[in-house]
Each structure stands twice: as structure tokens, then as C-alpha cells.
Amino acid sequence: MPAIAFREALNQAMSEEMERDERVFLLGEEVAEYNGAYKVSQGMLSRFGPERVIDTPISEGGFSGIGIGAAMVGLRPIVEFMTFSFSLVAIDQIVNNAANMRYMSGGQFAVPIVFRGSSGMAGCLAATHSHRLEAWYAQVPGLTVMMPATPADAKGMLKSAIRSDDPVVFIEHENLYGDKGEVPTGEHLVPIGKADIKRPGRDVTLITYSRSLKVTLAAAEKLAEDGVDAEVIDLRTIRPLDLDTLIASVVKTHRAVIVEEDWPYCGLGAGISDRITQRVFDELDAPIRRVASKDAPIPYNRIMEASMLPSVERVVAAVNDVLYR
């Protein structure tokens, strides 16, 4: 398999789906003439033309609404936000309209739309451009929320998202766009709602997603040096959650640590911890621990920002805690 960048994998997914289905089109800020703010849509304008790769004004509420309307009448839009922090301007369209339309129309209208773009703490972008909103969107019935961590998953997950008949919030971490990895060519689909065991283990379950997978895998290797065999699970889909895979792992290891870039207060990890505890409390030999970002607005300073993120040291410390080491 060829090794390509994360952004190229996303480009392949969109291009292949646009070739396969003429109803698929892309719209958003700078997606056409500029080839995308992060060059994810590189070359797509020349390949598909301005009727299917559409530059929009800086008006997230407006072009999100256009996309939802287009989806309701049979098209399959991909709406790109330059950053998911800007999706807050369109949250009424996403939450009140896209998520509820199938239910409120009694099943008469589907909304096959993908809202995608960059997210996360990416380096010196400060508080208003560094939001992690997965927990916000995952709380909303009617939305699917997906967050890939590798180029192969980025391609397979985005293709599945585009083919879904329900609205998908597809969040890509900005610091992953340049990462390279082997990606299958042609038809490669990752099923929605299926987590992936990236590293098998027997002593502790490490649950994570998106960029935090890299830190978690590095922590697992560090723990292995001390004789701790950690199992690492990449959630991939945030909603619906693959709880069965998590439960099976926890039943095997009897301990769990959740690693997330989200804030800790009412964060995604809290909901995951609750679901595991409700299902298999008697299997746990220690309380579930969470390693999250510090509970504060994101600073502009690069060093201060880095200090807020989950680190190998913090993950190792949490594992040692649940192992009573």
C-alpha cells in the first residue's frame, strides 16, 4: 500500500466518492480556488469544476443551511469549515435542523450531509481557534460524530460518512494533516460505529481517539519497558460509541484509562467512563482514570499550550495509579 499524507487520504475519499456519485459536491471557505485552507481539496476544482467544488463567503450559517437544503432534496453535500471553532456560528443549522429533520418530518426527509474540517490545539492559534467540540456534537441525537487518527482511517471513515443517509460531523485534527501512513487504494471503507484495537494488551485498557492516539501509543511503549502490557483502543466513531469493544477489553484487563484532548469538565471521557462503569462495575479492579487537557482557555504561547495537553508522562502516571504501582 502506498504511504500518503492524512490530507491526501481525505482528498482521495472525497474525489473517489464524487467520481462514484454525481450527487456528491463540496462547498466551503477557500475549498476551490485556494485548494483548501489546509490543501485537503488540492486539485479538486480542476477535476470536478466550479459547480461541484464551490467557494463560499465567510458565512458558516449560510452555507451550512444551503447544504442542509440540498441534502433534503437528494444531493450529498460535504460542507467544509476552515476550523470547527467556526462551526459555532452554524450550530443552529447543525443541531436544530440537520440533526432533527428526519425525526421531525416523520422520516420523510433524510439529511445525507457531512460537516468536516479541522479542530484541536494546533499551535499558537489561541482560545477562539482551538476548540475541541466533539463532546458538544456527540450529545445531540440525530448526529453521527467521527474523528480519524490515521491516514487509512481518514480515507475509509470519510467515504463511509459521505455514503451515510444521516448527518455526520467529521472532525479532523489540524496537527494530523501532514502525518503519513499506508492507505489502501480504491474501495476502502471503515464502518461507522466500530472502534479499532491499535495495540493488543492484557494489563490495562487505554481508550483514546484523534491526535491523542499518538501520545497513547507512545505511553504504551514506555509502559512496556516496565513490563506493563497496555491495550490501546482508537474509538474512531464518537457517536455511536462502540461500547461492546470497550467492554470486552475492560473485562479482559480490569482497568481503564481514557486519554482525550477535550476539557475534563463534562468531557467525552466522563460519558464513556459512566457507560463502562454502569455495564461492568464488578469487573473493575480500580477506578477509571481520565487524562484530559487542563481546564482553562487555550493560551497563545506554544509552550503554555503544550503544557495543557495530555502527555506520555501523564498517561503513564494514570496507568501506574490504576495498577497501584
Average model confidence (pLDDT) for the chain? 96
Domain match, 175 and 70 both: yes
Domain match, 153 and 294 both: no
Please state, in angstroms and rounded to a whole number, the distance separating the CA atoms of residues 108 and 93.
19
Contact 134, 145 (CB under 8 A): yes
CATH of the domain at 47: 3.40.50.970
Looking at residue 123, its pLDDT comes to: 83
Domain match, 124 and 216 both: no
Looking at residue 30, its pLDDT comes to: 95
Tell me which of 16, 29, 129, 260 is the catalytic residue: 129
Does residue 168 lie in a domain region?
A: yes
Domain match, 144 and 244 both: no
∠ Cα 161 18 70 (to 5°): 70
Does residue 267 lie in a domain region?
A: yes
pLDDT tens digits, one per residue of 15-56: 999 999 999 999 999 999 999 999 999 999 999 999 999 999
Is residue 130 very low, low, confident or very high in pLDDT (cuts 50, 70, 90)? confident
pLDDT tens digits, one per residue of 169-209: 999 999 999 999 999 988 999 999 999 999 999 999 999 99
Domain match, 157 and 227 both: no
Domain match, 169 and 51 both: yes
Does residue 190 lie in a domain region?
A: no
Domain match, 176 and 209 both: no
End-to-end CA separation in angstroms for the chain: 41
Domain match, 134 and 269 both: no
Please confirm, yes or no, whether 173 is among the known catalytic residues. no
Tally of domains in the chain: 2
Structural domain range at position 206: 196-322
* pLDDT reading at 146 higher than 90: yes
Q: Which of 172, 112, 164, 177 is nearest to 146 (CA)?
A: 172
Tell me which of 16, 29, 60, 261 is the catalytic residue: 60
* pLDDT reading at 121 higher than 90: no
For every residue of 221-239, which 3-state class applies, written as one string? HHHHCCCCCEEEEECCEEE
Does residue 188 lie in a domain region?
A: no
* pLDDT reading at 108 higher than 90: yes
Domain match, 16 and 94 both: yes
Task: Mean pLDDT check: name the lowest of 17-31, 120-134, 181-195, 302-316.
Answer: 120-134
Does residue 187 lie in a domain region?
A: no
Is residue 128 very low, low, confident or very high in pLDDT (cuts 50, 70, 90)? confident
Domain boundary residue, one of 160, 182, 204: 182
Does residue 50 lie in a domain region?
A: yes
Does residue 211 lie in a domain region?
A: yes
pTM over 0.85: yes
pLDDT tens digits, one per residue of 2-15: 999 999 999 999 99
